[in-house]
Amino acid sequence: MLQGGKHHKNLLGIAALWRDVRMARGSKYDPERAIMRDPRSGLRIIRLTHCASISSNLYFEMCSFTRDEAFVVFISQRGAARDAPWDLFRARTDGLELVQLTDCDDLSGIVMSPKTGSTFYMSRGELRRIDVLSFKDEPIAELGGLSPAYPFSVASIDAEGSAYFAAGVKDNGVGVLFKVEVASGKLKVLFEGGLQNHIHVEPDGRTVYFGDNRKDGATESAAGRQEAASEYLVDADGSNLRKYPFSGFAHKTWFGDTGSMQGCLLPPGHGIVTFVEGDLAPTVITEGRYYWHSSASTDAEWIIADTNWPREGLYLIHAPTRTVTYVCDPQSSCSHPQWTHPHPALSPGMRYVLFNSDMTGIGQVYLAELAGEFLGKAAEGYACQPVLTG
């Protein structure tokens, strides 16, 4: 059980009031943070949100931090009500300076660009960009009649912040994967099919991974045949569409600039592997427990993963040495709603792990601080022992 303290004066009942009222973009709120420590690792845990409405990190497939790791972006429902709209929020990584970034009712296609310090999103038929520091919100492109594939969905962007990739739906119901060049606002459809998901561009912007699901649950190949496989790769210009050749991943991300993907194996597999096109088999990074969602550092040195069946906590894997180190227990229910899944992600400089938990009964956003000496110990195979009792 996480232990601690240092709650700010906001109580749950007080904090619940402000998101039930429509507030403007740029509105600043009192901090909701609580600070505690994991009793096994001793690492400091910061709960960034404590409202009676649901909050969630953006997704484990992306980095939600500014490049200097001073700020992190997440989403939160405007009120404690079914189907309440979601807005983007920004907080300092010490839990202070909680700021609302949007005030639209149709938020979707969300992605953070650490290099540019901007969050991109779709709303009212436009792709828009908001600066996390200045709150300047500006249109990037008209979406040409495309509507969001999913409410409060996520998108993907290359490491330079120059090419945006997302899913949309045409007026005739056909789903599309599309690309927007940020500098020019030029939009190009890369794929048409069912409803695309898990869109994830390689950091260098050359290759895009995505899943394609037909509304009837089947999938369709480029030749029009219905097939079981629904995972694809396509070059960023829309050429060279091909099936993704490895079907053993439960969840995965690009593994830095290595050209490979890393991810957790589907049951009955228990481990994390990497795979690159052309390989005959995946490369095992670690085995022995059921890892659920994993993401990697930008230099492909570290992998962070949550666990389930049973829930054993968040673990940090040092890829070069294959050592595995416990980080914390998110104490989340890991049930059906996405905000109960920890979905851990690393900050650019490896100072923080961002994750979700509904340990309070409501989905909230947390940070685990990776102390300076912790990474060195983790690379050497540090075995955490309980440091707090009682």
Three-state DSSP class for 103? coil
Rounded Cα distance, 161 and 52, in Å:
34
- Architecture of the 104-244 domain: 7 Propeller (2.130)
Residue range 1-99+246-390 forms a domain whose CATH class is: mainly beta
The C-alpha atoms of residue 251 and residue 348 are separated, in whole angstroms, by: 21
**Tokens standing for 388?**
């707090």
Instruction: List per-residue pLDDT tens for the chain, 390 residues long.
Output: 354 443 333 433 333 444 445 568 889 999 999 999 999 999 999 999 999 999 999 999 999 999 999 999 999 998 888 889 999 999 999 999 999 999 999 999 999 999 999 999 999 999 999 999 999 999 999 999 999 999 889 999 999 999 999 999 999 999 999 999 999 999 999 999 999 999 999 999 999 999 998 655 444 444 444 444 489 999 999 999 999 999 999 999 999 999 999 999 999 999 999 999 999 999 999 999 999 999 999 999 999 999 999 999 999 999 999 999 999 999 999 999 999 999 999 999 999 999 999 999 999 999 999 988 999 999 998 877 655 444
Query: Does residue 274 contact residue 262 with C-beta atoms inside 8 Å?
Result: yes
Beta-bridge partners for 113: 118
**Amino acid (1-letter code) at residue 49:** T
SS3 labels along 204-252: CCCEEEEEEECCCCCEECCCCCEECCCEEEEECCCCCCEECCCCCEEEE
Closest CA to 154 of 338, 363, 293: 338
Q: Start-end ranges of CATH 2.130.10.10 in the chain?
A: 1-99+246-390, 104-244
Q: Is 254 helix (H, G, I), strand (E, B) or coil?
A: strand
User: Residue 176 in contact with residue 168, Cβ under 8 Å?
Assistant: yes
